[in-house]
Structure 1
Amino acid sequence: MTWKQLAEKVVEGYNITPDEALRILNEDDDNVLELIQSAFHIRKHYYGKKVKLNLIINAKSGLCPEDCGYCSQSMKADTEIDSYPLVSKKIIVDGAKEAKKNKIGTYCIVMSGRKPTNRDVDTVVQAVQDIKKDVDTMKICACLGLVNDAQAKLLKEAGVDRFNHNINTSKGHHSEITTTHDYEDRIRTLETLKSAGISPCSGVICGMGETLEDIVEMAFSLKELDADSIPVNFLHPIEGTKLAGMDDLTPLKCLKILAMFRFVNPTKEIRISGGREYNLRTLQSMGLYMANSIFVGDYLTTSGQASNQDHQMIKDLGFEIEENAFETESQQFAGV
């Protein structure tokens, strides 16, 4: 069966198997263009040629007690980054207003640390309430760590649309990346958010020493969790972290990973996230034939491509920025 034939089956409702997903990752580099075109058939069916833009505000930075090997904000890492407590409500709100001017559809409030205090949640709640009054068409995604039922309920009532909590890697590889929490902690948090009625956003970081089978497992785990938004990060090794010397990715491998995630999770928002510029390099635009969403601007502690370059990249592809974050949610199954 050709990739095009498989893509047509997926659009008709077929769920690909783990063996088929692994075959995507093992595809010869010479056949990547055919694979991309086939994945684009799926992407176009559900999302047309629209691209969602997401922006991060690093609302609380550094001083994290976790030992995640990829992260420069961990207290275990020997890095020089800006460390500060949660910023004021005004800074969060002003950031959202500025984001709207730059066609951002989803504004992501991110905090370092294992879990938020109730005071942290109160500040975020107040900020979100103010943002929703002024920018009601913008989606708000919070990424605050391990939240409990009561905190999740408050965030939902305030107007938080999504909550990001990545699985990061496969269950079997998790202990190689961090030991201060386990894989089940992340799954429980996602279930807590879903129970509160908040849309789950959960993704991965590829290039951390995992196998191709691990990457396939990640894609199917997110399918089982029914994550609405799936950020696919590619490791950007940072000096001073445990994974500083890791070099396991090429631009073509990244494209095959994005294609596989689209085949496995055809109806979901697939976002090219951290490490896009570092790993895809001159092939960044090719990723949008499979992903329908990107982060613009800077990431948490690494720099991103200038926003005007992202806008130009989208325009050059003949794609369109989706300014209303809620616009396609009701249309995505209509084949627009």
Structure 2
Amino acid sequence: MSKWSNLAKKVLEGELLEKKEALEILEAPNDEVLSIMDAAYTIRSHYFGNKVKLNMIINAKSGLCPENCGYCSQSIVSNAPIEKYPMLNKETIIAGAQEAIKRQAGTYCIVASGRAPSKRDVEEVAGAVEEITKTTSLKICACLGFLNEEKAQRLQQAGVHRYNHNLNTHRDNHSSIVSTHTYEDRVNTVNEVKGSGISPCSGCIFGMGETNEQIYEIGVSLRNLDVDSIPVNFLHAIKGTPLQDQKPLEPLACLKILALMRFINPSKEIRISGGREVNLRSLQPLGLYAANSIFVGDYLTTDGQEAEYDHKMIEDLGFEIEECAL
């Protein structure tokens, strides 16, 4: 049995991965990657079998954001040529749910740019969610920015199942990426979501200058927050943003990160999210030996690959799409 398999056995017995062991995964020679992914798959299959959960995003409000996040094409410091528009109306958001079903997605993600949603924005989204959940079995994830207790409760009452608010980067790297809000602001919103009874979703964007120690500590922070879903994004450097010149991560490095997130958060949904096509490239299928979830279709302002390609990729692996909404 390889040392990676022994680590997987340790994790499945309920022990926590030590920092030294985590760094060994990230720093392993590339010829060890298949063994690492095999061990990660042992954990993944224990909790999720060969099921893959599909998620689809609608960009419900684009651009016009006062925050200065260096990675984001929608931020106030971005010159990226993106479409900008206010919150979509309820009817348009509802129509997007049918597209999610067509793509075999079980979760429909309603995402809006901005620091925090206005009361009107919350009501528009809540009204759409109420209609969608009456007529489909889609699960709804919302990502609207910072929340207070009142807004979180309104979304929960409307039927929002999950709320996404990413940590985005390590606490010590945060100020180099954004200065218009703090790391603690992001943690507080995740805790507000948990307090409202909505399932918390929070992850990171890797490839923004983190050290290996910080990558490990991000995984631990997410474990300590006890979030249910962890989107693992890899920076897609967009022209016109402050991070436009950042180089993509190497595909094998991305696989090691995905494996590490599975080792640290064994029973949680690990979703390969933004930037997978750019960073993992031809190795995208291997990522599903650690992750059990992906986005299908386009992201917020960048293109994803065709849904049919993702469906075929899952089929070719011998995996199954988790049952979608009716």
TM-score per shorter chain, which class?
over 0.9
Which residue of the partner structure matches residue 113 of structure 2? Answer: 112
Q: Partners in 2 of 1:266 and 1:46 — Cα distance?
A: 8
Q: What's the TM-score, normalizing by structure 1?
A: 0.95
- Provide the secondary structure at the position in 2 that maps to 1:110: strand
Corresponding residue of 1:183: 183
Q: What is the SS of the residue equivalent to 1:78?
A: coil
Alpha carbons 2:5, 2:39 under 8 Å: kept: yes
Equivalent in the alignment of 1:332: none
One-letter amino acid of the counterpart of residue 107, structure 2: T
Map 1:21-170; keep pairs closer than 5 Å. Answer: 21-135=22-136, 137-170=137-170
Distance 1:61 1:292 in 2: 28
Q: SS of the residue aligned with 2:205?
A: strand
Query: Unpaired runs of 5+ in structure 1?
Result: 326-336
Q: What is the Cα deviation at residue 98 of structure 1?
A: 2.1
Q: Distance in 2 between matches of 1:19 and 1:121?
A: 44
Question: Contact 2:70–2:178 (CA<8 Å) still a contact in 1?
Answer: yes
Whether the 8 Å contact between 1:272 and 1:291 is mirrored in structure 2 is yes
* Offset of residue 240 of structure 1: 0.9
Q: Which amino acid in the other structure matches residue 235 of structure 2? A: L
1:183-222 to structure 2, matched below 5 A, reads 183-222=183-222
Partner in structure 1 of residue 223 of structure 2 = 223
Unaligned runs of 5+ in 2: none
In the TM superposition, residue 45 of structure 1 has moved relative to its aligned partner by 0.4
Q: 1:289 is aligned with what amino acid?
A: Y
Contact 1:202/1:230 (CA < 8 Å) preserved in 2? yes
Report if aligned partners of 2:236, 2:248 keep a CA contact under 8 Å in 1. Answer: no
1:43-69 deviation line (CA, Å, top 9, x unaligned): 000000000000000000001110000
SS at match of 1:173: helix
Q: Distance in 2 between matches of 1:249 and 1:213?
A: 16
In structure 2, the residue corresponding to 1:44 is in which secondary structure? helix
How many angstroms apart in 2 are the aligned matches of 1:164 and 1:75? 21
Q: Distance in 1 between matches of 2:116 and 2:275?
A: 25
Cα RMSD for the two superposed structures: 0.9
Q: After the TM superposition, which residues 263-302 of structure 1 pair with which residues of structure 2 at under 5 Å, given as runs?
A: 263-302=263-302
Answer whether contact 1:209 1:248 (CA < 8 A) is retained. no
CA contact (8 A) 2:163 2:193 kept: yes
Q: Report what 1:246 is aligned to.
A: 246
Cα offset, 1:324, TM superposition: 4.3
SS where residue 231 of structure 1 aligns?
Answer: strand
| TM-score for both structures, normalised by structure 2 | 0.98
Offset of residue 212 of structure 1? 1.0
| Contact 1:234–1:276 under 8 Å retained in 2 | yes
**In structure 2, what is the Cα distance between the partners aligned to 1:80 and 1:25?**
36
Distance 1:30 1:186, change over 3 A: same
Distance 1:255 1:12 in 2: 23
The secondary structure found in structure 1 opposite 2:44 is helix
The Cα shift of 1:248 comes to 5.1
Alpha-carbon distance in 2 for matches of 1:75, 1:324? 37
Q: Corresponding residue for 1:319? A: 319
Look up the equivalent residue of 2:74 and give its one-letter code: Q
Report how far residue 173 of structure 1 moved: 0.5
Tell me how far 1:242 sits from its aligned partner.
0.6
User: Secondary structure of 1:140's partner?
Assistant: strand
Structure 1 Cα separation of the partners of residues 70 and 217 of structure 2: 20
Q: Which residue in 2 is equivalent to 1:328?
A: none
* Residues 248 and 98 of structure 1, relative CA distance in 2, 3 Å threshold: closer
CA distance in 2, matches of 1:289, 1:233: 16
CA contact 2:117–2:147 (8 Å) conserved in 1: yes
Q: 3-state SS of the aligned residue for 1:121?
A: helix
CA-to-aligned-CA distance 1:69-112 (integer Å, 9 cap, x gap): 00000121111100000001011111112211321111000000
Ranges of 4+ aligned residues in structure 1 off by more than 3 Å: none
Identity of aligned residues (%): 60
Judge conservation of contact 1:61–1:111 (CA < 8 Å) in 2.
Answer: yes
Cα distance per residue 1:171-230 (max 9 Å; x no partner):
000001000000000011011110000000000000001111111111000000001000
Q: Distance in 2 between matches of 1:127 and 1:66?
A: 26
1:329 matched to which residue of 2?
none
Maintained 8 Å contact 2:66/2:114: yes
